[in-house]
């Protein structure tokens, strides 16, 4: 089965391209590269309106995927409260693993990373680089929420912050 039919993406679909962010498919075109004709998804990214072409045959491997449907957002955001990810204790391997998580683009794991780093930040100050990873991960999750719910990015950030506060709040008896 080809990746096109596996993804079954159409013009107008809202998608996430991990290395660039969320956008919409504005077209599908054929282009000749190195003597071979290839089909490309033409994406328009929501942030900045940048145009990106993604080879259809490599779209899955490159991580192109649909935005999480709104009805699945509660399940996705529940990952904020899951037990911490098993990250290396030593700084360098932990930093490498966190960067890899962001690059791989798995929204569920990125959401878990937000919860993990947020809880870690409560006990001590995060290093500047780890704080940047938390900010990047939270931005990725907020983008997913804002595109799925069709709300402003700041409203999505506020929703995530509220959930993180609730996760840290002591259980009332």
Domain's final residue, options 25, 46, 66? 66
pTM listed for this prediction: 0.84
Task: Specify the number of domains making up the chain.
Answer: 2
pLDDT tens for residues 14-59?
A: 999 887 888 999 999 999 988 999 999 999 998 888 999 999 999 9
Q: Which of 103, 105, 104, 107 is nearest to 73 (CA)?
A: 107
The lowest-confidence range among 6-10, 12-16, 95-99, 132-136 is: 6-10
21 and 85 fall within a common domain: no
- Please give the residue range of the domain that contains residue 111: 70-168
**What is the sign of the dihedral through the CA atoms of 68, 66, 157 and 105?**
positive
Q: How far apart are CA 129 and CA 62, in angstroms?
A: 26
What CATH number is associated with residue 17? 2.40.10.170
Q: What percent of the chain has pLDDT over 70?
A: 94
pLDDT tens digits, 103-113 = 888 999 999 99
- Percent of all residues in the chain with a pLDDT value above 90, rounded to a whole number: 77
* Measured CA distances, 118 to 5, 70, 87, 95 (Å): 38, 24, 14, 15
How confident is residue 1, by pLDDT bands cut at 50, 70 and 90?
Answer: very low
pLDDT at 21: 83
Do 20 and 57 lie in one domain? The reply is yes
Report, in this order, helix, strand and coil percent for the chain, each rounded to 5: 50, 20, 30
N- to C-terminal Cα separation, the chain: 54
């Amino acid at each position: 089965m080809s990746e096109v039919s596996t993804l079954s993406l159409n013009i107008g679909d809202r998608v996430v391209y991990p290395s660039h962010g969320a956008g919409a498919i504005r077209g599908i075109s054929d282009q000749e590269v190195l003597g071979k004709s290839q089909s490309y998804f033409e994406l328009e990214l929501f942030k900045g309106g940048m145009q990106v072409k993604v080879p259809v045959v490599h779209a899955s491997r490159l991580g192109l995927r649909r935005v999480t449907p709104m009805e699945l957002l509660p399940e996705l955001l529940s990952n904020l409260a899951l037990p911490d990810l098993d990250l290396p204790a030593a700084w360098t391997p932990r930093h490498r693993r966190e960067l890899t998580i962001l690059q791989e683009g798995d929204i569920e794991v990125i959401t878990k990373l937000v919860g993990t780093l947020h809880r870690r930040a409560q006990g001590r100050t995060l290093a500047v680089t780890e704080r940047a990873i938390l900010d990047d991960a939270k931005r990725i999750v907020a983008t997913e929420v804002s595109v799925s719910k069709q709300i402003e990015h700041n409203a999505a950030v506020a929703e995530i912050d509220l959930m993180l506060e609730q996760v840290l709040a002591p259980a009332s008896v």
